[in-house]
Amino acid sequence: MRTWRRASIATRCGSCGTVVPVGQPLLILTLGHAVKFRCGKCEEAPADLPENPAPRDTPDTPDTPDTSRRAPMQPLRGLALDWQKRAAGEREPGSDDI
Residues 67-88 pLDDT 10s:
666 667 766 665 556 666 667 7
Report the alpha-carbon angle 24-45-50, nearest 5: 60
DSSP result, 27-64: EEEEETTEEEEEETTTSPPPTT---PPPPP---SS---
Q: Where are the domains of the chain?
A: 2-39
Find the mean pLDDT for residues 85-93.
66
pTM over 0.95: no
